Structure 1
Amino acid sequence: MGRRRFRDPFSADPRENGSRNLFLSMTPDDMVRARRMLMRRDPVLAPIIRKYGQCGIKTGREGDIFCGLVEAIVSQQLSTRAAATIYGRLRALLPNGGTPTPEAFIPLSDEQLRNVGLSRQKLGYLRDLSGKMLDGSINTDGLVQMSDDEIVAELTKIKGIGRWTVEMLLIFRLTRPDVFPAGDLGIVKAVQRAYNLRGTPDVKRLHRIAERWRPYRSVASWYLWASLESKGK
């Protein structure tokens, strides 16, 4: 039997697009709906979803934007495992049960932060973020009412925070349903493997493939990342 090749996406079902307010965070019921829809629409993604079961995006975490940004900055250009290790060490330094707050970074020395595995560059980003939160330069209160694109535009004004970092915040902290981080190297690799693509897919092709996953591209992305864990990144 020949090698399975990817065929361009199915047309989206209009009854399932645009029917919900995408500014809202996902609920556990949304996760169930997302799995069913993705398995029905995409026969390539379906076995990955069956293998990994319940989506690992945790709902109900949207209250602390600062904490989400810290976690995303720590994760920049690292594997999931390495990022989790460093973030765990960082939390062990902090009071209040290890929850990052702008105030918690003040008494910590650069040496302490470097010893948990943070680069000098990321240390600088975290110092800058903490300072701006404390002096009121950054107001995150209204973010939950903004669209995904508006949040990207607002937060990428901060030093060290690019589109990828905000996308991680949108997926894992604000649990927005339809975020697709096409610039993430893990997503690129996972799509190439899952769809048996001969070459590395460019952004245009990735978005074309991902069209069938709307309005739950965040959930599809999680399963693609999960598919890499058992094979090594």
Structure 2
Amino acid sequence: MGLRSPTPVSYLSMNDEAHDVLRADPVMAGLLDRHDPYVEPDWSEYERLCISIINQQLSTASAAAVRERVFEVLDGEVTPESVLAADDEAIRDAGLFRRKIEYVRNAARAFRENDYSRTGLASHSDGEVVDLLTEITGIGEWTARMYLLFVLERPDVLPLGDLAVRRGIEQLYADGEELTRAEMREIAEPWRPYRSVATRYIWAEYESD
């Protein structure tokens, strides 16, 4: 079996109300005009968490290459069972470091024991989700916030732990000058309650440079 091709699904960035809110910020309005709405592939919850673990501390291009090779090893079936059963050497040869192999397996065991699905976490606040996920060794706040944004599709996530988000805000709002996180939060305040959508457009602009 080859690598599964995810089916695109709609995301919050298609939300007209979100765009109306963001267009009140002239800089953000420009981003909406320059970039198409984001469409997220239809990954499973565990699969998308594995992607974030693979992405940790890697460039976008490097992470994509490693992800493709690792998913090929798994025959495109990225589940807790397939990851726990996979051959260590084959996964390492695909480019995943030993530490990250441990992380995706820690997550696999946690997913078998707990319900981290969209339904299972529906009643949890963003902070509660972060607290739950960061109990898993290898899942830090950045990875947990990626889960909030990509998997749970929470509308108001501002992941300032992400370097590209910080650099993107600095380029767009301060001509590349360094800003404190407090200053970034102040800039992002008008984007509420759709900071997740704004984050998507900041990424799109940053990666297009």
Return the TM-score normalized by structure 1: 0.77
Larger radius of gyration: 1
The one-character-per-residue Cα deviations of 1:69-104 (angstroms, maximum 9, x if unpaired) are 111111111222322222222222224xx1311110
Q: Is the Cα contact below 8 Å between 2:167 and 2:176 reproduced in 1? A: no
In structure 2, how many angstroms separate the alpha carbons of the residues matched to 1:201 and 1:149? 24
Q: Which of 40, 59, 69 does residue 58 from structure 1 map onto?
A: 40
**Per-residue Cα deviation, 1:86-142 (whole angstroms, up to 9, x for no partner):** 2222222224xx1311110133221111122212211111122223333x2x33252
SS at structure 2 position matched to 1:144: coil
* Structure 2 residue matching 1:201: 3-state secondary structure: coil
With normalisation by structure 2, the TM-score equals: 0.86
Structure with greater helix percent: 2
Establish whether residue 208 from structure 1 lines up as the match of residue 192 from structure 2. no
| Partner Cα distance (1:31, 1:91) in 2 | 31
Q: Which amino acid aligns with 2:40?
A: K
Task: Give 2:115's aligned residue.
Answer: 139
Query: 1:66 offset after TM fit, Å?
Result: 1.6
Amino acid at match of 1:75: N
Separation of aligned partners in 2, 1:28 and 1:185: 22
| Counterparts in 2 of 1:153 and 1:94: CA distance versus 1, 3 Å | same
% identical equivalent positions: 37
Find the aligned partners of 1:29 and 1:163 in 2 and give their Cα distance: 23
Are residue 34 (structure 1) and residue 11 (structure 2) matched?
Answer: no
Give 1:57 deviation, angstroms: 4.5
- Helix, strand or coil at the partner of 1:180: coil
- Larger mean CA deviation between 184-193 and 111-120 belongs to 111-120
Listed as ranges, the gaps of 5+ residues in structure 1 are 1-25
1:44 to 27, 33, 49: 27
- How many residues are aligned here? 198
Question: Once the 2 structures are TM-superposed, how far is the Cα of residue 209 of structure 1 from its aligned partner?
Answer: 0.7
Partner in structure 1 of residue 141 of structure 2: 163
Q: Is residue 185 of structure 1 aligned with residue 167 of structure 2?
A: no
C-alpha deviation, 1:152, in angstroms:
0.4
Q: Distance in 1 between matches of 2:57 and 2:13?
A: 32
Q: What is the letter of the counterpart of residue 44 of structure 1?
A: V
User: How far 1:197 sits from its partner (Å)?
Assistant: 4.3
Q: Decide which of 63, 67, 79 is 2:47's aligned counterpart.
A: 67
Counterpart residue identity of residue 80, structure 1: T
CA RMSD of superposed structures (Å): 2.1
C-alpha change, 1:85 and 1:31, in structure 2 (3 Å) is: farther
Q: Distance in 2 between the 1:69 and 1:92 partners? A: 17
